[in-house]
Amino acid sequence: MKRRLILLTLLSSIACGDDDGPPVDGGGTDAADVDASIDSGNDDGSTPACLPRDPSSIPDPGECTPESDDYVVCSDTDGWDACVSDGGEYVRIQESVSTIARIRAFDQIATLLFDPATDPSADDFLEARGLYQEDEGLDSRVVRRYDVDVDAPPGTDCTLEGVPAMYPEYCIGPSTLQPTLLDAFTRGAMDEAPTRLQAARIEGALLRFLVVSVTKEALTCTATARDCDSSYAYYAGGSSARGAEGLARYVEAADPYAHDRVWDGIFALRCWRDLDSADTATNTALRDRARDQQRRALIDGVAAVVASRLRDVETTSDLAQDYHWTFLRNFAPVLVPYYAERDASGATALEAALEGEAAPEDPGALADAIEAAFDCP
């Protein structure tokens, strides 16, 4: 699968963002979602003073350090001009961020379904499907999600009939994720035993959707500035400073340093859009620098999640093992193309293993190889 950055000239055809239409932060304007300054950190429009974090709160990265041109909060030697991110807190572009409600729904679904030790009831699946299909909720975005890191002809519209079948990897939402999710919700609601395996399919597919969404919104933020807010919320949930809801909860548990570095990437993206604040941004070099920083850390975190689950496959048995392996079959394909850029043979081995319904004989070896390839976000 080829990798690419979509050119600025193509952005007008894909600028539809996740915060289109009326705000839907949980069915109305939630006070927690609007308690943020907009466009700049201070009421007078000035950049907020730098508030460095307590060093004890920063995970030990070992020998891993940021790249020389990465954005670093509170640094005056990173080559970045002063910007709204320098206060060390994310400053929203738009008060109401509808993506926050979708991540809340994801976490509610997780509470209902995502337990490898138990089989959720049919009612649990029905309730979870209701959360998934809320108005302007997860399903409304899954069905139109495309992967900006996959080659497709300019102007490809995944919402048109027949297009997802022609470009399934690019049109990942309608071609793969939504069919998987709807099928798993239906089978779970029909009490198809063991129901936990349907839950594992849902967990893997939804988490894969969140990963693709972070990178997609970081690009379409070029022409639709509020999509930077969506990129941040698809990773971290957005209800607390440097929080860890949704996808971020998984990354933080698997690799705290990668999680910390994703947050630096989020700040880099917001810094770029503050410095390049026209309706359509023009400084694509700075954009790509910010996106690379964010994505590099994100994919390192994804690799840590995959490796951690492979360890779970290695150390569990029976239905619990089947749960973890089913999750990986639906989530880990998102890692494969990035893995191939670092270790082609390792990526091939993982991809081949994921084709099997049964867990591989040596999942620990797959985990070792992933950890060797992704050693520094």
Calculate the alpha carbon distances from 228 to 12, 97, 284 in Å: 16, 10, 15
Residue 296 within any structural domain of the chain: yes
Spell out the residues 6+ positions from residue 173 whose beta carbon is closer than 8 angstroms to its own. 141, 142, 143, 144, 145, 146, 158, 209, 212
Task: Report the candidate in 164, 181, 250, 241 with the shortest Cα–Cα distance to residue 214.
Answer: 250
Structure tokens at 354: 């994921």
Tokens 């957005």 correspond to 238
pLDDT at 63: 79
Two structure tokens written together for 80? 């970045």
Q: Would you state the pLDDT for residue 299?
A: 98
Query: How high is the pLDDT of residue 40?
Result: 42
Alpha carbons 366 and 310: distance in angstroms, whole number? 7
Structural domains of the chain, count: 1
CA distances from residue 117 to 5, 194, 199, 200, 358 in whole angstroms, order as listed: 41, 11, 11, 11, 18
For residue 10, being part of any structural domain is answered with: no
Cβ contact 193:187 at 8 Å: no
Q: Does residue 152 lie within any of the structural domains?
A: yes
CA–CA separation, 193 and 127 (whole Å): 18
| Full pLDDT tens readout for the chain, 377 residues | 433 333 333 343 444 566 553 333 323 333 333 333 334 445 455 555 566 566 666 777 777 888 889 998 876 667 899 999 988 889 999 999 999 999 999 999 999 999 999 999 999 999 999 999 999 999 999 999 999 999 999 999 999 999 999 999 999 999 999 999 999 999 999 999 999 999 999 999 999 999 999 999 999 999 999 999 999 999 999 877 788 999 999 999 999 999 999 999 999 999 999 999 999 999 999 999 999 999 999 999 999 999 999 999 999 999 999 999 999 999 999 999 999 999 999 999 999 999 999 999 999 999 999 999 999 88
* DSSP labels, 1-40: -------GGGGGGS---TT-SS--SSSS--HHHH-S--SS
User: Is the Cβ–Cβ distance between 258 and 330 less than 8 Å?
Assistant: no
Burial-class residue 191 by CB neighbours within 10 Å (0-12, 13-18, 19+). middle
Residue 94 falls inside a structural domain: yes
Asked whether the beta carbons of 234 and 210 are under 8 A apart, the reply is: yes
Contact yes or no for 87/41 (Cβ under 8 A): yes
Q: Where is 226: in which H helix or E strand?
A: none
Place of tokens 């099928």: 183
Q: Give SS3 for 268.
A: helix
Joined tokens for residue 137: 């909720």
d(CA 131, CA 104): 9
- The answer to whether residue 69 sits within a structural domain is yes
End-to-end CA distance of the chain: 22
| Structural domain of 308 | 19-373
For residue 323, what are the CA distances in angstroms to 42, 357, 371? 48, 11, 22
Q: How is 66-84 classified by DSSP, letter by letter?
A: --TTS--TT-SSSSPPP-G
**How confident is the model at residue 343, as a pLDDT?**
98
- Asked if residue 2 is part of any domain, the answer here is no
